[in-house]
Amino acid sequence: METLFSGLILLDKPAGVTSCKALFPIRKIFHTRRVGHAGSLDLRASGLIVAAVGRATRLLSFVESGEKSYTFNAHFGYSTDTDEWDGELISQDPQEAPISAEEIQKVLPQFRGEIDQVPPDFSAVKIQGKRASDLALKGRSFELKSRKIFIRNLSLVGRASAPQNISGRIRSSFEFSCDCSKGTYIRSLVRDIARALGTCGVVSGIRRTRIGSLSVADAVLPSSLDENSLCTPQSLLPFPVVKLTPSELEFIRNGNSIAWNTPVAFSDGAPNVVLAEDESGTLQSACSYANGKLYAKFFLGSDN
């Protein structure tokens, strides 16, 4: 039986909990397995995950494509197999002199804009159908290809403290903030910044604070989830909303386009998506707008 619920939830995933486990209370509260999310976070990372219930899961591709914002701590002086602070030690920089903020500022420009990035070995990237992380755990040798990413902003925030259970000797620790495209790995970013500085490095404290226009400040912890945590897509997503009559909705439901002479304004950088609701304010369809017509992308309302 299809769930009666449909909508989005802004979830603040704690560090040390898998994305799947953080989503589990949603399935229990709304009595459905039809739960999805936009963008997993590493086990050690915390922050915003956008979850969807019911037919709203169809909107997740638009959410996932949005720009992401992170804060994180970089620790320079050693490297590990996981690129995290407590992984198995791979190399230790013989130098002990601290790395200065001035040295870091000099290399940061090369990591802004479109760059090539190789994902970390411990990642979900597939190699002949197998996760890279699974192959790494088995000691298999493999090589990941670089991919294009875009970093709009990368800023040095200030000094950071060393975390507990570090695997090596730290030369310097700094906090950073970053606004980047989908597919960016913060662990790889720290690894590459360290190489540009002539050393090696690891990351800790990764926290995702934003996806598109959605902020972790508006999110709830898994322990605080209830039915009131479910939000309408219209209230969260930066897409224009139009009201359609029953006859217009019938056209939309059958996959047809309808004439729409009222101008539709889209937010800068947002996908060409229009949310169509019925006269009672219930979301019924996601559409695109072009040449004075609304074209149905997919139907979101109840079959009834």
186-235 pLDDT per residue, tens: 999 999 999 999 999 999 999 999 999 999 999 999 999 999 999 999 99
Summarised one tens digit per residue, pLDDT across range 59-93 is: 999 898 899 999 999 999 999 999 999 999 999 99
Q: Which CATH architecture has domain 7-65+214-232?
A: 2-Layer Sandwich (3.30)
Instruction: For residue 234, give both structure tokens.
Output: 């219209």
**What mean pLDDT is reported for the chain?**
90
* Fold match between domain 7-65+214-232 and domain 68-211: yes
Per DSSP, what are the bridge partners of residue 115?
A: 149
Summarised one tens digit per residue, pLDDT across range 125-136 is: 666 566 655 655
**Which pLDDT value is given to residue 301?**
75
**Which pLDDT value is given to residue 146?**
86
The three-class DSSP label of residue 77 is coil
Under the banding of pLDDT at 50, 70 and 90, the label for residue 296 is: confident
Mean pLDDT of 12-27: 92
State the pTM of this model: 0.91
**Which pLDDT value is given to residue 290?**
84
Class of domain 68-211: alpha beta
**Which pLDDT value is given to residue 158?**
98
Under the banding of pLDDT at 50, 70 and 90, the label for residue 279 is: very high
**Which pLDDT value is given to residue 2?**
46
CB 84 within 8 A of CB 44: yes
CB 172 within 8 A of CB 99: yes
* pLDDT of 291 over the 50 cut: yes
The three-class DSSP label of residue 206 is strand
- Give catalytic residue positions: 42
Of residues 259 and 176, more confidence is placed in: 176
Sequence spans of domains, the chain: 7-65+214-232, 68-211, 238-299
> Which candidate, 187, 166, 195, 190, places its Cα nearest to that of 93?
195
Report whether CATH 2.30.130.10 matches the domain 238-299.
Answer: yes
Over its C-alpha atoms, the chain yields an Rg (Å, rounded) of 22
**Which pLDDT value is given to residue 131?**
66
Beta-carbon contacts of 173 under 8 Å, excluding residues fewer than 6 positions away, are 73, 74, 75, 76, 159, 160, 161, 162
**Which pLDDT value is given to residue 137?**
64
Under the banding of pLDDT at 50, 70 and 90, the label for residue 1 is: very low
**Which pLDDT value is given to residue 37?**
93
Q: Which amino acid, 153?
A: N
**Which pLDDT value is given to residue 122?**
65
* pLDDT of 124 over the 70 cut: no
Of residues 138 and 299, more confidence is placed in: 299
**E-strand spans in 44-180?**
46-53, 68-76, 78-80, 89-92, 113-117, 126-127, 130-131, 147-159, 172-180
Gap between the Cα atoms of 198 and 3, Å rounded: 55
**Which pLDDT value is given to residue 36?**
92
